[in-house]
A and B are shown apart, each in its own frame.
Chain A
């Protein structure tokens, strides 16, 4: 069964450093998403991406965050200057045909900010 893959599985970074989280969505999917889950809390939407542009973003997704699809397979989330409160599990997801379709999640990147 095709799956969303994310790298790295765990990233440890000093506060203030830039970090890039990488995702390879399912190959025939057209819609891409990033979510985060702080330990012990619910999953929170960050951003949706379609046709090489952001479709929707949450209030969490401020100027420190950016997304990019640099080639035909990768989808990245960049945090420019990390803060302690950015520590969380970050999940990438993709859906095939539209934003109302089920989203399939990768196994996440655990980001730890020191």
Chain B
């Protein structure tokens, strides 16, 4: 089983619509969770950290479900500039920053 799994997509989303997708992780001792976005052949850019109680940053909402070992990302009012690959990142307890990346979920926002 992969350590971090994501639906590769693509999720084709009309501009202004809402899109949501999940990521599952296998290590129950995982401690830190993040969403990054990656544009084609560019560096990963931090989108948001994911907290146990769930958190929101503008149009983006992240949730963590420790019991079922998944995190989710919801994007409201999608913009063309939201088109990217969204990377789920997990850091295990006692890990010295060994971020484990999912393969990414591609989102394509269409006019």
Q: Which residues of A contact B (CB under 8 A)?
A: 31, 33, 35, 41-45, 48, 50, 55-56, 58, 89, 91, 95, 99-108
Contact = CB atoms under 8 A, between A and B. Distances in A.
Contacts of B49: 102
Interface stretch (B18-26, B36-44, B52-60, B68-76): B36-44
Contacts of A33: 97, 99
B52 to A, nearest CB: 13
A42 B91 contact: no
B63 interface: no
A105 B97 contact: no
Contact of B101 (A42, A56, A89, A95): A42
Given A42-B101, A43-B101, 5 more contacts: A33-B97, A41-B103, A56-B96, A99-B98, A105-B44
Interface of B: 31-32, 34, 41-46, 49, 87, 91, 95-104
Contacts of A55: 96-97
Nearest to B45: A105
A100 B31 contact: yes
A91 B95 contact: no
B19 to A, nearest CB: 21
A107 B45 CA distance: 9
Given A56-B98, A100-B91, A91 B32 contact: no
A50 B96 contact: yes
Contacts of A101: 32
Most buried by A among B44, B99, B100, B103: B99
